[in-house]
Amino acid sequence: MDPADGKSEAWHSLEIRSFGRRRGRKLSARQERLLAELLPRVGVDLSQPSPSNLASLFPPGTSAVWLEIGFGGAEHLMWQARENLGVGLIGCEPFEEGVVKALAAIEDGGLGNVRLHCDDVRPLIRWLPERSVSRVFMLFPDPWPKKRHQKRRLFSVDLLNLLARVMVPGAELRLATDIGDYARTALRAVAQTPAFRWTAEGPADWRVRPPDWPETRYEAKAGREGRRCYFFRFIRG
């Protein structure tokens, strides 16, 4: 979809935000430079038509494109980028603190296979070409624990329907949470979305983190505070 037709902006204005404030502490001189100089080079420009081949956003030889929704401190995003140099990764994060951490890691590591979107992920998903993403990560999203705020939870039937359009058949959607109620509502959302199926065969399939799924600071914090973590993998049919 071409954002110029105005439909993407209209949808965005009607959607409930799933995150709070975007800016935290004062930025250092280096961080200001990264935002001014590096972000324009690695940012995804939604004002342009989406490419017919999403891999063209990345270096030649890119074999697949993965998406991380809400990359936080960027540890997982950068680990995947370093371990999978033939894969292009798009990281989406609305918070400036996380964005500058990702930019610093991109510069320090010389990583050419990472692109960033620094806003709500839903306009980005609508911009992406059909069947262009091979894996999606959503790790420890904001749980919005108060009942009156649960409508702000991002993982939902609506989001799954958006993802179903852009994920290739057989693509994997990974979700991690340390909130039991979020896990239950996520499973209900998947059950209501025919495009996705949960392939777990036993408790270890959601209680044990796979080896290609590195720990994040949020998981470490949950462990220190005695909360169980859930690791779900869903398949796009």
Is position 19 within any domain? no
Q: Is the pLDDT of residue 125 over 70?
A: yes
How high is the pLDDT of residue 145? 67
Backbone angles phi, psi at 148, to 5 degrees: -70, -15
**Contacts for 231 with CB less than 8 Å, ≥ 6 apart:** 174, 175, 176, 206, 207, 208, 209, 210, 213
Is position 18 within any domain? no
Is position 20 within any domain? no
How high is the pLDDT of residue 208? 95
> 119, 120, 142, 205: which one is catalytic?
142
Residue pLDDT, tens place only, 74-113:
999 999 999 999 999 999 999 999 999 999 999 999 999 9
Cβ proximity of 32 and 26 under 8 Å: no
**Does residue 21 or residue 124 have the better pLDDT?**
124
Q: Is the pLDDT of residue 21 over 90?
A: no
CATH of the domain at 99: 3.40.50.150
What's the whole-number mean pLDDT along residues 144-157? 77
Is position 151 within any domain? yes
Token output for 59:
């270096």
Is position 127 within any domain? yes
Is position 147 within any domain? yes
Length of the chain: 237
What's the whole-number mean pLDDT along residues 21-26? 62
205 is catalytic: no
How high is the pLDDT of residue 18? 43
What's the whole-number mean pLDDT along residues 9-26? 51
Number of domains into which the chain is organized: 1
Instruction: Determine the structural domain holding residue 153 and report its residue range.
Output: 3-13+25-236
Is position 48 within any domain? yes
Pairing of strands 133-139, 64-69: parallel
Cβ proximity of 159 and 149 under 8 Å: no
Residue 149 to residue 143: CA distance in whole angstroms: 9
Is position 186 within any domain? yes
